[in-house]
Structure 1
């Protein structure tokens, strides 16, 4: 695992190095900015360029590095598996697993327990403190937001991988942007603001990480800090109107 993380970090460092000094050949339209902003947290975490599709300039080096990332993290190795992965994100994704998990917990009565009762039951069943905290957070999320609580996690990642497909050479630029436009329109209709969307994304991130988001050393806390730092930065991407008219500009 440590080797995998180290190798992934090296790849991302190379990508970030290759992105330095990159210029977009034409001005970035508001539609493309909107699409790129849906995965700005990951682009920022990877030290990429938020004005570039996928966060990185399309070069031979970046193409190979992104192919390696897609293979390692997504099981994508060609156009066919790229299409399959995108279809999974748009039709199932982690949101379906979340719904199934919550339905199972509801069936056995755990959703009806108070948070403290649930935490105690989890720890008595062998959960660690972190695992119990995660379970409580997910059940509280489900109680508050329902079965669609983490939907943005899947849709934002769909837009992210579409950008990667372009950098990796599995999709042309037009194919990536055409597909991204349709996903973006769907996502835009699901939420009323960037904050609503990003809260759903971050909830999904925590669901995937299975960590305690209240722990300042957790991956979820680190991802949330990136969001907060971007919001307070001079180049806050979320200043772009959520209700921007999304139209084909390419």
Structure 2
């Protein structure tokens, strides 16, 4: 079946419409990210305008090709060849200013060079430095800059430190922005993989569950069930677990259930007196940190909800070390198999935070007023 020029033109025009739609989607997505994560200038997110211009130019070129195809009687093969030629030009135009960087990286790799390039100061930092030099007389003594006051965000950054350290996530700030280390795509991928969350509604349901119920209700009911069994009943229960009853179909689930029984029977790590609040609420705080990056919550909303969890943690535990120890004990109860595979990195993060004098835990006060957030604007 041979297509007419008009049919070919419609096909190319359809592709142009797809590029135009992509351009609009990128614009809406980036605008929503900036609204969620704070106001940014175009210099901080140059990829936003770059992507808009890429897809817009592609749509214009393809639309022009469709018009030429219909009105100038170009043949289909010629038109397809012209379209294929346009795409390398588009790619070259997109990466034109990246070529020097690519060439430099190639030279470094080929010759195994170790080059440390100096970081140039931004225009804003230069202007600030100039103002300070103008205001300060030449003979005035050099004074040390006073440390910034400790804030509510700093407290929750410390609360999130254990999970961020152990999972290898950046923890230089509580809420990463567009120019920060955690991207919108990575945060969304995390929620889909770990929580099966695909929308803001899913996210809020998970957060409400963690705050109001969490694993702690299930764990307490399970411990009560185990402690109320006599020796014969417990032996029969373990045999049923090995047989795959109670929905425990996999060997991992059976191993974890038997480990929980052993932990409760021996009161390992004082598990019988565990509230499991650290387990649920530290994940709650961490989810809000990533939820801002994913566009599921604003910074103000996240911080307000974190404060409620933070107050509960302060009332329940007496220090960062106690909070972290209870979290790890609960994680052991949740999945002994996961802790056997990756427990070393969790305990390494814990010991680093507790023993390093420069760690965020040792630099952050445990008792701190979390109610007033208006003071942070001063």
Instruction: Report the TM range for the smaller structure's normalisation.
Output: 0.7 to 0.9
Q: Which moved more, 1:221-230 or 1:129-138?
A: 129-138
1:245 matched to 2:366: no
Q: CA 1:164–1:88 in 2, change beyond 3 Å: closer, same or farther?
A: same
Tell me, in whole angstroms, the C-alpha distance in 2 between the residues paired with 1:141 and 1:238.
Answer: 28
1:167 matched to 2:293: yes
The residue aligned with 1:198 is: 324
Q: Decide which of 185, 191, 194 is 1:73's aligned counterpart.
A: 194
- 1:63 deviates by 0.7
Q: CA 1:139–1:226 in 2, change beyond 3 Å: closer, same or farther?
A: farther
Tell me, in whole angstroms, the C-alpha distance in 1 between the residues paired with 2:255 and 2:345.
Answer: 16
Deviant stretches of 4+, over 6 Å: 127-130
Tell me, in whole angstroms, the C-alpha distance in 2 between the residues paired with 1:230 and 1:205.
Answer: 18
Larger relative contact order (CA 8 Å, sep ≥ 6): 1
Question: TM-score with structure 1 length normalisation?
Answer: 0.72
- 1:168 deviates by 0.6
Tell me, in whole angstroms, the C-alpha distance in 2 between the residues paired with 1:72 and 1:234.
Answer: 35
Q: Decide which of 68, 87, 102 is 2:208's aligned counterpart.
A: 87
In 2, are the aligned partners of 1:149 and 1:203 still within 8 Å (CA)? Answer: no
The residue aligned with 2:281 is: 155
Structure number with greater Rg is 2
Q: CA 1:69–1:212 in 2, change beyond 3 Å: closer, same or farther?
A: closer
- 1:28 deviates by 7.8
Unaligned runs of 5+ in 2: 1-118, 120-147, 243-250
- 1:231 deviates by 2.2
Q: Decide which of 169, 179, 182 is 2:308's aligned counterpart.
A: 182
Tell me, in whole angstroms, the C-alpha distance in 2 between the residues paired with 1:37 and 1:219.
Answer: 22
- 1:143 deviates by 8.7
1:233 matched to 2:356: yes
Tell me, in whole angstroms, the C-alpha distance in 2 between the residues paired with 1:144 and 1:44.
Answer: 25
Compute the RMSD of aligned alpha carbons: 3.3
Tell me, in whole angstroms, the C-alpha distance in 2 between the residues paired with 1:162 and 1:67.
Answer: 12
Tell me, in whole angstroms, the C-alpha distance in 2 between the residues paired with 1:134 and 1:124.
Answer: 15
In 2, are the aligned partners of 1:231 and 1:237 still within 8 Å (CA)? Answer: no
Give the alignment of 1:201-216 within 5 angstroms: 201-211=327-337
Paired residue total: 215
Q: Which moved more, 1:86-95 or 1:143-152?
A: 143-152
Q: Secondary structure at the match of 2:183?
A: helix
The residue aligned with 2:90 is: none
Tell me, in whole angstroms, the C-alpha distance in 1 between the residues paired with 2:269 and 2:168.
Answer: 35
- 1:201 deviates by 0.6
Q: CA 1:76–1:171 in 2, change beyond 3 Å: closer, same or farther?
A: same
Tell me, in whole angstroms, the C-alpha distance in 2 between the residues paired with 1:198 and 1:138.
Answer: 20
